[in-house]
Amino acid sequence: MIKEQYLQQLWKHLDKIPEPKRREIMFDYEDHFRIAAELGRSEEEAARELGDPQMIAREMLLGYRVEEAENSGGVVRLSKAVLATAGLGFFNLVFVLGPYIALLSVLLSLWVVSGACGILAIGAMYEGFFGDAVTRMQASFIAISAIGVGMLLGAGTHKLTRGVFKMTLKYLRFNTRVIMNKERN
Amino acid sequence: MNVQFKKGVLDLCVLALTAWEDRYGYELAVAISSKFEVAVGSVYPLLNRLTLEGYFSTYLRESPEGPPRKYYKLTPKGHTHLMELVSEWNTFTHAVNELIKDGVGK
């Protein structure tokens, strides 16, 4: 009875992890109860020593998210991994989510600026052909410079974004190690 | 036990237990938690993470008592990682012991 309840709770808390992976995780815990029984220990004992199923599920979710983000490298996945980490405790909310949002904003603004350079080029050409603020020659120069700056910035930001992703994943891992052992006590 | 001490050492211990023979999850979980006062259940996420990071591979093996059990096997990558951790640990504890000896052992 205790075993059934425990496993049911764990299963419920793992609902964000897709089915096959979820089954795999459950296997370890079902096994634990089974082997405990083979060694003549009660279900209560086995459940008590396992600890809080919700906490376990959080850790598992985190591991899964980090792996997911590594394999795909998308911003959505990475954000999910960061959120899973933040879910582990208040400390993480401050030390993981905060810096992550700040970094993301910086990256986003860099992307916006490099995009704006492109728009500036179009605007300058339009002004050169149809307006009278600048000559065509001047407009061409402005446009070429703007496109150049935009492309350089874009390439730089792309590299930076990749770097930030790699670093974030590394930090998440490091952070998990620290937090996992802290939360227990 | 001092929580600060436990941090980071758990990985090393789990890897060390599998250095010479493959072990099944229950065995590892109980061995670790009996020494470190951590919940047995928290060792499984640890094993899971180390497996994802490529330090362990897993397989099922029949057991005399009943159905097959999931065994953890140290991969070459895991072995390298373990050796790194062991040498770091030795350097670290050596330094700490020296300091203690100088301070307390007078």
Q: Which residues of chain A does B10 touch, with a Cβ-Cβ cutoff of 8 Å?
A: 177, 180-181
Per-residue pLDDT for B1 more than 70? no
Per-residue pLDDT for B3 more than 70? no
Asked if B42 lies within 8 A of A51 by C-beta distance, the reply is yes
* Model confidence, pTM: 0.60
Of the candidate ranges A14-18, A89-93, A101-105, B65-69, the one whose mean pLDDT is the lowest: A89-93
Give the per-residue pLDDT at A185. Answer: 43
B66 pairs with which residues across the strands? B63
Dist CA B75 CA B91 (whole Å)? 24
Q: Which residues of chain A does B42 touch, with a Cβ-Cβ cutoff of 8 Å?
A: 51, 55-56, 59, 180, 184
Give the per-residue pLDDT at A1. Answer: 60
Establish, for the pair of chains A and B, how many residue pairs have beta carbons separated by less than 8 Å.
85
Residue listed under structure tokens 């960061």? A82
Exposure b/e, B30-64, CB count within 10 A at least 16 = b: bbbbeebebbbbbbbbbbbbbbebebbebeeeeee
Asked if B7 lies within 8 A of A182 by C-beta distance, the reply is yes
Q: Which residues of chain B does A38 touch, with a Cβ-Cβ cutoff of 8 Å?
A: 65-66
CA distance A128 to chain B (A): 57
pLDDT digits (tens, 9 = 90+) for B29-84: 888 888 887 778 878 888 888 888 899 999 988 877 778 888 999 999 999 999 99
| DSSP per position, A95-161 | IIIHHHHHHHHHHHHHHHHHHHHHHHHHHHHHHHHH-SSS-HHHHHHHHHHHHHHHHHHHHHHHHHH
Residue in chain A closest to B12 (alpha carbons) equals A177
Give the per-residue pLDDT at B43. Answer: 85
Asked if A31 lies within 8 A of B39 by C-beta distance, the reply is no
Residue listed under structure tokens 């419920």? A12
Contact in structure between A134 and A124 (CB atoms under 8 Å): yes
Q: Which residues of chain B does A177 touch, with a Cβ-Cβ cutoff of 8 Å?
A: 7-8, 10-11
What does the angle CA B32 – CA B33 – CA B36 come to, to the nearest 5 degrees?
85
Dist CA A123 CA A81 (whole Å)? 40
Contact in structure between B37 and B9 (CB atoms under 8 Å): no
What does the angle CA A45 – CA B37 – CA A38 come to, to the nearest 5 degrees?
30
Give the per-residue pLDDT at B2. Answer: 62
> What confidence category does residue A179 fall into, taking pLDDT thresholds of 50, 70 and 90?
low
Look over chain A and give the mean of its residue pLDDT values, rounded to a whole number.
83
pLDDT digits (tens, 9 = 90+) for A33-85: 988 888 888 888 888 888 888 888 888 888 788 777 777 767 777 888 887 77
Phi, psi of B64 (to 5 degrees): -65, -30
